[in-house]
Amino acid sequence: MLSETLTLPDGGMLTLRRARADDVPAIVALLADDQLGAARDGVDGPDGAGPYLRAFAEIDADPAHALVVVEDAGAVVATLQLSILPGLARRGAKRGQVEAVRVGRTHRGRGLGTAMLRWVIAEAERRGCALLQLTSDKSRTDAHRFYTGLGFAASHDGFKLTL
């Protein structure tokens, strides 16, 4: 079972671990507590948490995906998902894709995002990826600086089509 201690620059020690079904409401709250996510996420719709729990079961059943949370004194304070994609390009390289990175308001500015990204970089390497990739909304200018500071190249445009 994946579980690891993240030590922050201020000495704080948090636990990064694989998400469980009972973490889903807290993860959804993190997704919704965001300028862009507020309109898109929340468990107050007519279907409640149902669609989220179905999606969780699918993620959890497939070893290609790792949905993790960070816990502080029993509370979920951050989350991200890593997915491993096989492909032919770059001599058959596996690529890791990071989605849904969120750090709760109470825990920002403490280097937690950096610690999480360092973990996901190491985890993608352990899983044999030659490349790690993610996209970030162009309006998130802080995120841009954050990812390039970690060594990512902002080399691509990310295109999205709502179906």
Site for its own copies, rule CB under 8 A: 24, 27-28, 31, 37, 40-41, 45, 47, 51-56, 58-59, 62, 64-65, 67, 81, 83, 85-94, 96-97, 99-100, 121, 124-125, 129-138, 144, 147-148, 150-163
Angle among Cα 116, 121, 126 to the nearest 5 degrees reads 120
Question: Nearest approach, Cβ of 161 to its own copies (angstroms)?
Answer: 4
- Could you tell me the two tokens for 115? 């610690």
Report the alpha-carbon distance of residue 156 to residue 89 in Å, rounded: 16
- Among residues 56, 105, 106, the alpha carbon closest in space to that of 81 is found at 56
> Closest CB to its own copies among 62 and 105?
62
Question: Nearest approach, Cβ of 65 to its own copies (angstroms)?
Answer: 7
Residue 24: count other Cβ atoms within 10 Å of its Cβ.
Answer: 20
Question: Nearest approach, Cβ of 13 to its own copies (angstroms)?
Answer: 26
> Closest CB to its own copies among 12 and 136?
136
Cβ atoms 127, 163 nearer than 8 A: no
> Closest CB to its own copies among 9 and 158?
158
